[in-house]
Structure 1
């Protein structure tokens, strides 16, 4: 089974906004697209991220004028990024480690997409299938390794098998020969 990558789960070509746009424009984009955040870009280059939480905390709760405030004043600079070819499991670990809900997906310095906790949940069944398949392969490897370490005379497991008269024998069976 193929590994699941960030590209398999991310939302490609997300809405974007510029750092000089007003916070009202960012809020309208967030509402109209029913999303929780908008990447902030200069051309194709990611420079920040503005979330609905940023707007509430830094504008609404502070009684600032959203029509005058610029996105660059409110955005999170240097958001956490990941490559599209990274394994989804690694992205999930990074999100948990940083306690964040979204990762910006960057390829060659350009924004390629966004991975949210919702995107991860959407592919969770496929991810579970992949993890179960990996677990089954590991079980087979362990069983094979254990079978390789069984004495051919008594069947006991040991890490000290030696070839005696064409048979792999444990210490006790070697002494009996």
Structure 2
């Protein structure tokens, strides 16, 4: 594995996005349905304005103890928009940057994903899961070499 591999090779292209005025509850449901933990937030021109995570929304829901509290939490959340809960102006990385740089940025900022932006346009997202896929594929290749030697 090379820390110099490019973000473009491992990122998810065309990630699922939402506009800032989107319902936070609908965003949460979309993330659950798509199996993602975060979504870039883009304006009508496609410019990145923020990022929303499942945990951002879950924190806003508090921790309901029973079905009645769960219904109330969902009701309260239904009136909130993504813009109210998102992290505005998130840290980003370019597709031409190295995986090593992406990993270092994530560790330093204590985030699990970075929107990938080229020339001001969102082109993808790189997450800790993507970097782990790179590590796992490298280990598998090294294991293969060891077995064939």
Q: After TM superposition, list the pairs within 5 Å mapping 1:81-100 onto structure 2.
A: 81-100=92-111
| Aligned counterpart in structure 2 of residue 72 of structure 1, from 73, 83, 88 | 83
Q: In structure 2, the residue corresponding to 1:106 is in which secondary structure?
A: strand
What does residue 49 of structure 1 align with? 51
**Structure 1 segments unaligned to the other structure (5+ residues):** 130-177
Q: Deviations over 1:2-61 (max 9, x none)?
A: 84100111100000000001111111110110100111001311000110110011x201
8 Å CA contact retained: 1:27, 1:55: yes
Q: In structure 2, the residue corresponding to 1:66 is in which secondary structure?
A: helix
Q: After TM superposition, list the pairs within 5 Å mapping 1:150-169 onto structure 2.
A: none
Q: After TM superposition, list the pairs within 5 Å mapping 1:117-156 onto structure 2.
A: 117-125=128-136
Structure number with greater CO (CA < 8 Å, separation at least 6) is 2
**Structure 2 segments unaligned to the other structure (5+ residues):** 64-72, 141-149
The TM-score normalised by the length of structure 1 is 0.67
The TM-score normalised by the length of structure 2 is 0.79
Q: CA RMSD in A?
A: 2.1
Q: Deviations over 1:105-143 (max 9, x none)?
A: 0011111100000000001145679xxxxxxxxxxxxxx
Matched, 1:61 2:62: yes
CA distance in 1, matches of 2:11, 2:138: 14
**Is the radius of gyration larger for structure 1 or structure 2?**
1
Structure 1 segments of 4+ aligned residues over 4 angstroms from their partners:
125-129
